[in-house]
Amino acid sequence: MTQLILFFTVLILLCITDTRSMLHSNLKKDLIPYGILMLATAAMGFWYFSNQYRQSISYLIFQIFKIKG
């Protein structure tokens, strides 16, 4: 849980800094793709750090492609 909180603290702080800088540089158009990428990162971070013992990406790939791990 500590990792999850730390990860999201860093993510939110960097997000605020970047957004302010983008608005200052008149890059409003880039805010949408930046937001999408940040959301994807947050989703991945939440998915992994909420339960670090869940099946790994490798394991899922082995399952999908029926590879003997």
Minimum gap (Å) between residue 56 Cβ and another protein: 5
Give the binding site for another protein (CB under 8 A). Answer: 7, 10-11, 14-15, 18, 21-22, 25, 27, 29-30, 32-34, 36-38, 40-41, 44-45, 47-49, 52, 56-59, 61-62, 65, 67, 69
Which tokens sit at 5?
């909180």
Least distance in angstroms from the C-beta of 42 to another protein: 8
Closest of 11, 17, 60 to residue 37, by C-alpha: 11
Residues 6+ apart with CB under 8 A from 52: 3
